[in-house]
A and B are shown apart, each in its own frame.
Chain A
Amino acid sequence: MIKHLPVIDVQNISKAFAGKTVVNKLSLQVRRGEIYGFLGPNGSGKTTFLRMLCGLLQPDAGSGVCLGHNLLTEVDQIKHRIGYMAQNFSLYEDLSVRENLDFMARIYAIKSRREVVAQTLERMELIPFAGQLAGTLSGGWKQRLALASCLLHEPELLLLDEPTAGVDPAARRDFWEQIYALTTQGISALISTHYMDEAERCHRVAYLAYGDLLTSGTAAEVIKKSGLITWSASGPGIQDLSERLKQQPGIKQVIPFGNTLHVCGTDGERFAESLRPFIADSSYRWEKIETGLEEVFVSLMSKREGGHSDGDS
């Protein structure tokens, strides 16, 4: 395998269910050793896209290469080299941790099965739970077991569908440490998430809404592309301030963050114009801040919602 070739390279991939387009002409590249974040509201087509990559679904149109294999015709070869972690815990709750890993190792026909399972238990710190039924593990440990089970066959690419949903912050941090460790070994990961802090941990991100890829690139690129300028305001009665700001021309969005407001605009001149009287009001403290991914994604969504009324699919 040539090092610089992308591990995922898809062009114009589409998928519809019962006439409803879920993924619309998506093109995307993921490089080797890269953590690629996949964001978007519920029903935006993230899961469908991941399922197409791991051979669970056949794309309706488009073409693609995954780990050098044709996505349409060489699904079996791809399956041997990827690790897929579904959104919901999808190992057997009535089998123990060790039995689950042993089962998956048999499915992948791993030669030195016992050793690999033992090593994986140790590496993922699952030894104390080895004999415990998977269904009785807490959310964080279930997720760790799921990750362990898709690492057994040493995949080159991980497809992780909201792996940290419902997992506590400490376990999430551990999880990301493991992902980083894996990518240093050359493993690539495509991870869908709803958490902004996780999006910022990714090398590159893509934002998907209702099947369309709205933006992609590194966090800095995505922010730069959006052209958003952000100010934060704090002070008494920001609820009321928020309402008044929303009326102003040039102000694209006002997002409350606890006791502060993040006020964004794109057109420098008009934005500054609109803000001036508010900044002059000394009862609020104003500060120009760096635009974050969250502001960008909220802005992308509000742009999209003009054309879309139905949300979830």
Chain B
Amino acid sequence: MATAKIRFSPCRFWAVVRKEFLQMRRDRVTFAMMLGIPVLQMVLFGYAINADPRHLPTAVLSADNGVFSRRIVAAMQNSSYFQLTRNVDSESAANRLIEIGDVQFVLNIPEQFSRRLMRGERPALLLTADATDPAATSHALAAFKTLTESALAGDLKGPLSHLQLTAAPLEVIVHPQFNPEANTRYNIVPGLMGVVLTMTLVIITALAITRERERGTMENLLSTPVRPLEVMFGKIIPYIIVGYLQMGFILLVSHFIFEVPMAGNLALLLAVSLLFIAANLGVGLTFSTLARNQLQAVQMAFFFFLPSILLSGFMFPFRGMPLWAQRIGEVFPLTHYLRIVRGVLLKGNGLTEIAPNLWPIAIFLFVALSIGLKRFRRTLE
């Protein structure tokens, strides 16, 4: 418009906000999505998904009934990684169990194992694993190596003490900070905050604006004195509130149900989250200007959502990805937000520590919002 005087009317703005809340309340599916997605993800990621699986079914094929083999089997049980579910008496039966997936491991104890061990012959102990999914077996395998050593330590005394392992010439001290028990939930649950916000906010904003255009209500709206800025902020602010409600919910559940430590300043976290929420809304806005209908808007949101989740370090360790993937991952606001959330909650980071992750989100927000606003204006024509 030639005379683009910026006169923001609180009355018109409030009218749009009110209307948006009314529609939100009436649209059961969207409402369910805003509430259901956080609940569902909390349950699934908090309870169902575990990167450190235990009680893996294990079969034992033992040809030795000596004290050492019994010790090792008992130690495996005690480690909680292995659960002895079967005793088999032939190698083919053992292989069969692995092939059909009934057991994850088969422990093969050869004949005369205990006797040969005492003689110092270093008998072999074979642990066969179904390593199709490396994540399922790697922790158990690592544990197995150490548990065999420590299991026998008590028995290798007196005349057998020469069989004891000699100590390494140095001592290694490992200090796993911030999450000493290696509790996956402590990492996943705070991360969920970012995932839930990305998922709902991008989709819902894209939908809310596309719907206005698809149904023709935008045309009606723009023939009134309402200004594009009032429409946009009026539509976006309700979803910022929704975003904060989701965050509050996740924080409460994290604290009271999953007992995630909250070492840092929550107010700081809530404040910087606004940047992240705005970045996602900017993406949603941009998608809404590109999509012709609501279906397309959802499809586009998924194109953003998938790489966000996969490359951000939410599910897989960020540093485990090849460099090119890390570079792409750095673009997404979720990557940085995850570091912020985990940093604040688990490490007690302050503003100085999270600052390096704030500006990439700010740049993203700036780019997304300027594309979105520019296109938003153009689509009004």
Contacts and interface: CB of A to CB of B under 8 A. Distances in A.
Contacts, number: 79
A128 B223 CA distance: 28
Nearest to B27: A94
Given A73-B3, A84-B223, A108-B224, A103 B19 contact: yes
Interface residues of A, number: 31
Interface string A76-94: 1001101010101111111
A313 B381 CA distance: 17
B216 A107 contact: no
Contact of B223 (A55, A74, A103): A55
B352 interface: no
A55 B22 CA distance: 28
Contacts of A133: 26
A54 interface: yes
A120 to B, nearest CB: 16
A95 interface: yes
B86 interface: no
Interface in A40-79: 54-58, 72-76, 79
A99 interface: yes
A95 B14 CA distance: 16
B221 interface: yes
A109 interface: yes
A232 B72 CA distance: 109
A270 interface: no
Contacts of A72: 2
Contacts of B380: 56
B18 A103 contact: yes
Contacts of A106: 11-12, 14-15, 18
Given A56-B219, A73-B3, A90-B216, A107 B23 contact: no
Interface in B1-40: 1-3, 5, 9, 11-12, 14-16, 18-19, 22-23, 26-27
Contact of A104 (B5, B23, B26, B224): B224
Contacts of B5: 76
B132 interface: no
Given A72-B2, A76-B225, A93-B215, A103 B220 contact: no
B73 to A, nearest CB: 64
Given A109-B11, A109-B12, A90 B224 contact: no
Contacts of B355: none
Contact of B224 (A58, A89, A95, A107): A107
Given A103-B18, A106-B14, A79 B225 contact: yes
Contacts of A75: 1-3
B12 to A, nearest CB: 5
Interface string B278-297: 00000000000000000000
B127 interface: no
Given A74-B3, A103-B18, A92 B217 contact: yes
Contacts of A93: 215
18 contacts: A55-B1, A56-B381, A58-B1, A73-B3, A75-B1, A82-B223, A88-B216, A90-B215, A91-B220, A93-B215, A99-B22, A103-B19, A106-B12, A107-B15, A107-B16, A107-B225, A107-B226, A109-B11
Interface of A: 54-58, 72-76, 79-80, 82, 84, 86, 88-95, 99, 103-104, 106-109, 133
Interface of B: 1-3, 5, 9, 11-12, 14-16, 18-19, 22-23, 26-27, 215-217, 219-226, 380-381
